[in-house]
Structure 1
Amino acid sequence: MDLGINGKTALVTASSGGMGRNIAHALAAEGANIVLFARSADKLSAVAREIEQKYGVRTVGVPGDMCVGSDVERLAGVLEREFGGPDIVVVNTSRPPNPIRATLDEADEARWREAYQNQLWSAIQVLCRMIPLMQGRGWGRLIAITSASVKSPMPHHSLSTVFRAGVTAYMKHLANELGAKGITVNCVAPALIETPHRTGMAAYSEDQAAARRNLTPLGRMGTQEELAGVVTFLASMQAGFITGSTIAVEGGMVGSLL
């Protein structure tokens, strides 16, 4: 299936590795030019080279921090100068502070401030600067990566749940305001996705890994490719009548009807 995004420009944040890198690869495989944004200049350069070599699309890495206004402004300048602005924006953010704790044990103001900055304010700051570059194009896709915890709060994830739920609410407001501009706005809410730091003995014992697999009716962890595929579909022409939605990618772990 031709997803209709060949030649479009996609920004993916937190894309020097892990989920962001995999999403960038998936979009590039459909012919989208890629702008990478993350803090590590060396890692960004390496990812940009591998994407260009594998897919033949134009790829630019912009080092910077989503929480720093001047860095986001510089990112916007590169996008406007080099591509005229983004068509697709995938907002991926960092994890909450470690170690994760029970909600009543989260009494450290510094941890709450860090989680707010990294997961909610960073997303708002990037989107506030990108949207003006998109509104005159008559077409666009905004996608935020949140967490299945916004649908069913998971133990010890309150720092993540509170602020990613905030992102979900913010994206819903944007969907209502930007629909007339041809811009769709959605969230992808993953859980139980295999990542390098979650797989193998370094992350979980065999019993712990088995317990996680048993949380879903499918009896396994999800793959990075499956998650990136959902994001890429939401970026497609075919997803043009989906907006204001949160798509859960969690193997049926969340048991609610809605």
Structure 2
Amino acid sequence: MDLGIKGKRAVVTGGTSGLGLASAEALAREGADLVLFARSRQRLDEVGQDLQARFGVAVEGVAGDITRKQDVQALAAAVAARGGADILVPNVPRPPQPMREFLAEDDDDKWQRAYQDQLHGGLLVLRLLTPLLLGKGWGRVVAITSASVKQPMARHAMSTIFRAGLHAALKHLANEVASQGVTVNAVAPATIVTPTFGQHHNLEARVQAVPLKRPGTTEELGAVVAFLASRQAGFITGQVVQLDGGQTLSLL
């Protein structure tokens, strides 16, 4: 299926590892040019060269910290200098580890770091980058969040609380920009295996809570991101797609 995004420009934050990289790869496979944002200049160069070689798309890397407004402003300036963007994939860092239950999270500095990474950084990206999608009659915002927003998971208090705030912002944004042909959606994953998953979670225990009895893959996540960015998904907005193998048990 041709997703209709060949030649589009996509901005992916946290785009050099994990779920951000999976999203970037899926978009590049469909022919989208990329602007990647991450902290490491070296990693940006390595990933950019790899994606260019494999998919023949243009890839630019902008180094910065998502929690620093001046860094996100620099990203926005770089994108604006190239005529704006068509697709925005806000992907924020994971909460500080180890994750604990709500009452056990008694470190104020850890709460502040989680707020900065999970909510403040995501809001900066939405506020400063979304305007660069406007005025074309077409655009896609696809945020990567967490299934715990719909059904809070054990020891995910920080992720749930701050990502819930990000979901609220996404819903407001979806309503504001819909008339300009821009859709805004979220992909909410759970138990997706990344290279660092085993460092933070017991995979065997997590899989037992998944009705499909297997973890999800980064390729599956990337495919959902690419679809929501596609021409075919043009009538989907303000929605959350659970990518959790049936782990979320709520009706809605």
Range with greater deviation from structure 2 (97-106 or 223-232): 97-106
For residues 76 and 196 of structure 2, the distance between their equivalents in structure 1, rounded to whole angstroms, comes to 31
Match of 1:46 in 2: 46
Q: How does 1:133-212 map to 2 (within 5 A)?
A: 133-199=132-198, 208-212=202-206
Identical aligned residues as a percent: 51
Per the alignment, residue 223 of structure 1 pairs with: 217
Cα distance in 1 between the residues matched to 2:207 and 2:114? 27
Q: Secondary structure at the match of 1:137?
A: coil
Please, what TM-score do these two structures have when normalized by structure 1? 0.95
TM-score by length of 2: 0.97
CA deviation vs aligned residue, 1:208-258 (integer Å, no higher than 9, x gap): 433222211211000110011101100000000000000000000011110
Shift of 1:111: 1.4
- Secondary structure of residue in 2 paired with 1:239: coil
1:63 offset after TM fit, Å? 0.5
Which runs of no fewer than 5 residues in structure 1 stay unpaired?
none
The reply on whether 1:243 has 2:237 as its aligned counterpart is yes
Output the CA distance in 1 between the equivalents of 2:171 and 2:180.
15
Deviations 1:125-159 (A, max 9, x none): 11111122111111100111110000110111101
Counting matched residue pairs gives 252
Letter in 2 for 1:181: Q
Aligned to 1:7: 7
Once structures 1 and 2 are overlaid, which stretch shifts more, 127-136 or 85-94?
Answer: 127-136
- For 1:175, give the aligned amino acid: A
Unaligned runs of 5+ in 2: none
Helix, strand or coil for the counterpart of 1:61?
strand
* 2:82 aligned with 1:88: no
In 1, distance between residues paired with 2:184 and 2:106?
33
Between the aligned partners of 1:16 and 1:226, the Cα distance in structure 2 is 17
Instruction: Give the secondary structure class of the aligned counterpart of 2:88.
Output: strand
Amino acid at match of 2:63: P
SS in 2 for 1:79: helix
Partners in 1 of 2:145 and 2:105 — Cα distance? 20
CA shift, 1:176, in A, is: 0.8
Q: After the TM superposition, which parts of structure 1 deviate over 4 Å for at least 4 consecutive aligned residues?
A: none
Q: Give the match's secondary structure for 2:127.
A: helix
Aligned counterparts of 1:76 and 1:209: Cα–Cα separation in 2: 37
Query: What residue is the counterpart of 2:78 in the other structure?
Result: 78
Aligned-partner Cα distance in 2 for 1:31–1:140: 16
Q: Distance in 2 between matches of 1:91 and 1:229?
A: 16
Cα deviation 1:69-111 (Å, max 9, x = unaligned): 11111111111112x0110000000011111111111122211
- Matched residue of 2:134: which SS? helix
1:245 partner letter = Q
